[in-house]
């Protein structure tokens, strides 16, 4: 079925992204995995090529492009070479922190951070999750107390993407301790600020090149002007922007699953068993047919949701549907494709092996599948 989702302008941009991926990413993937860290070179190269900074205003060095299809192309091209960790790193800058600053920040904040984020010189992270607070942001205990012209931050965060490499962190902290109030605010912290410390680089099941870390705040003092958005409105600020983050995860899920299926079609075409290619076995053809159909149907939903996102009409419920369904599908497809690779699927020299371990987090971060279903279920119940 022919899609008109992408235009010639998108195709031209894809050629730029693909060239960047071939030149700067593909040959470095194994090294990044071994070193458990992505160096700054791909960030700087991406900045020069316009692969990052896509949604940021032109006056701050970005492309000023609100059409999310351009971000989807970046994610598809990274997925094509299995660059899951780099996609996650870019996603924090592009779809979360950078957009928060662009939409909520003061002119001074935008001028201070967005040019560097557009050029790849500034790497960011967002510190929401805590040891006792994951998907339920109301459980956040990190505090920020106003002291004259400063905020004093105390607390700890965990599972923070770009935690080791980031230059700036947006911190969700409790600024109102009144019982029964959400009282969360967002504060910008430069990582060189006294009292800020990085903890362990966490040892994860997958996404080994992605530096995920613990962060600690011990009487960290930042200027009052580092408040991002409105005091006490941190939770609404986060909730209003979660649909974009969830679409970001959903797009990588579909891109990765499609890439894995393509590798598997090639493998089953060339691998022989019982005197014939594996693809000639009915079980293989049925499996491939089922996965291709599910992916095509899912892509159609994501394309429609993306056009709604572009129009400012994507609901939190539809974003939750896109996130849970596409990531669970990615998990199923990757597992099934690994099975079709047989013993070679379990070998890390085949990309399906790394795709398998990297995909497992997709149904957890950005809101677990169970939380996504709860959001959808509550909406259904409220409509009765």
| Catalytic site residue from 24, 77, 94, 245 | 245
Residue 5's CB is within 10 A of a number of other CB atoms, namely 15
Assess whether 245 carries a catalytic annotation: yes
Determine the pLDDT at residue 274.
87
Give the phi and the psi of residue 184 in degrees, each rounded to 5: -95, 145
Identify the band that residue 257 occupies on the pLDDT scale cut at 50, 70 and 90: very high
Write out pLDDT tens, residues 306-315.
999 999 999 9
Which pLDDT score is estimated for 176?
83
- State the average pLDDT for the chain: 95
Residue 331, C-beta contacts closer than 8 angstroms, at least 6 positions apart: 359, 360, 362, 363
- CA–CA distance from 226 to each of 105, 151, 238 (Å)? 9, 8, 17
Give 133 or 261, the one with higher predicted confidence: 261
Q: Could you tell me how far CA 255 lies from the centroid of its own chain?
A: 13
* pLDDT at 135 exceeding the cut of 80: no
Tens digit of each residue's pLDDT (9 = 90 or more) over 93-133: 999 999 999 999 999 999 999 999 999 999 999 999 998 77
Element (H, E) at 217: strand 212-223
Between 175-184, 204-213, 339-348, the lowest mean confidence (pLDDT) is in: 175-184
Q: What is the pLDDT of residue 132?
A: 78
Q: Where are the beta strands (DSSP E) in the chain?
A: 124-127, 143-147, 150-161, 168-174, 184-190, 196-201, 212-223, 227-228, 272-273, 276-277
Band of pLDDT at residue 181, cut at 50, 70 and 90: low
From residue 361, alpha-carbon distances to 99, 188, 286, 367, 377 in Å are 23, 27, 28, 11, 23
What band does 179 get if pLDDT is binned at 50, 70 and 90? low
Does 196 have pLDDT greater than 90?
A: yes
In this prediction, what percent of the chain has a pLDDT beyond 70? 97
Instruction: Say what the pLDDT of residue 239 is.
Output: 86
**Confidence band (pLDDT; 50, 70, 90) for 253?**
very high
pLDDT over 90 (residue 152)? yes
Q: What is the pLDDT of residues 314-365, one digit of tens each?
A: 999 999 999 999 999 999 999 999 999 999 999 998 999 999 999 999 999 9
Query: Which domains does the chain possess?
Result: 8-122 (1.10.540.10), 126-232 (2.40.110.10), 235-382 (1.20.140.10)
Q: State the pLDDT at residue 384.
A: 85
């Amino acid at each position: 079925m022919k899609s008109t989702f992408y235009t010639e302008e998108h195709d031209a941009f894809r050629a730029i992204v693909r060239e960047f991926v071939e030149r700067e990413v593909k040959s470095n993937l194994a090294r990044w995995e071994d070193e458990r860290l992505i160096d700054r070179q791909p960030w700087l190269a991406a900045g020069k090529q316009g692969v990052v900074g896509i949604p940021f205003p032109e006056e701050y060095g970005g492309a000023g492009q609100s059409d999310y299809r351009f971000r989807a192309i970046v994610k598809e091209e990274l997925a094509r070479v299995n660059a899951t960790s780099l996609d996650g790193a870019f996603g924090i800058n592009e779809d979360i922190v950078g957009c928060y600053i662009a939409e909520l920040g003061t002119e001074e904040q935008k001028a201070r951070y967005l040019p560097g984020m557009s050029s790849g010189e500034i790497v960011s992270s967002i510190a929401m999750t805590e040891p006792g607070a994951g998907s339920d942001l109301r459980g956040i205990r990190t505090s920020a107390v106003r002291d004259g012209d400063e905020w004093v931050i105390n607390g700890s965060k965990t599972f923070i993407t770009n935690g080791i490499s980031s230059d700036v962190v947006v911190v969700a902290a409790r600024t109102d301790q009144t019982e029964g109030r959400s009282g969360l605010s967002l504060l910008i912290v430069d990582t060189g600020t006294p009292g800020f410390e990085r903890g362990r680089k966490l040892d994860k099941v997958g996404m080994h090149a992605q530096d995920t870390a613990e962060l600690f705040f011990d009487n960290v003092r930042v200027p009052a002007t580092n408040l991002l958005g409105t005091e006490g409105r941190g939770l609404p600020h986060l909730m209003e922007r979660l649909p974009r983050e969830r679409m970001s995860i959903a797009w990588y899920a579909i891109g990765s699953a499609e890439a894995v299926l393509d590798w598997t079609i090639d493998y089953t075409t060339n691998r022989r068993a019982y005197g014939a290619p594996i693809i000639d076995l009915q079980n293989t053809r049925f499996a491939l047919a089922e996965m291709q159909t599910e992916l095509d149907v899912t892509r159609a939903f994501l394309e429609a949701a993306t056009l709604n996102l572009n129009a400012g009409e994507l609901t939190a419920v539809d974003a939750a549907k896109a996130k849970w369904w596409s990531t669970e599908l990615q998990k199923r497809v990757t597992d099934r494709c690994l099975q079709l690779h047989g013993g070679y699927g379990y070998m890390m020299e085949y990309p399906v092996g790394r795709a398998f371990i990297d995909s497992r987090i997709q149904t957890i971060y950005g809101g677990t599948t169970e939380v996504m279903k709860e959001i959808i279920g509550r909406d259904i119940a409220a409509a009765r």
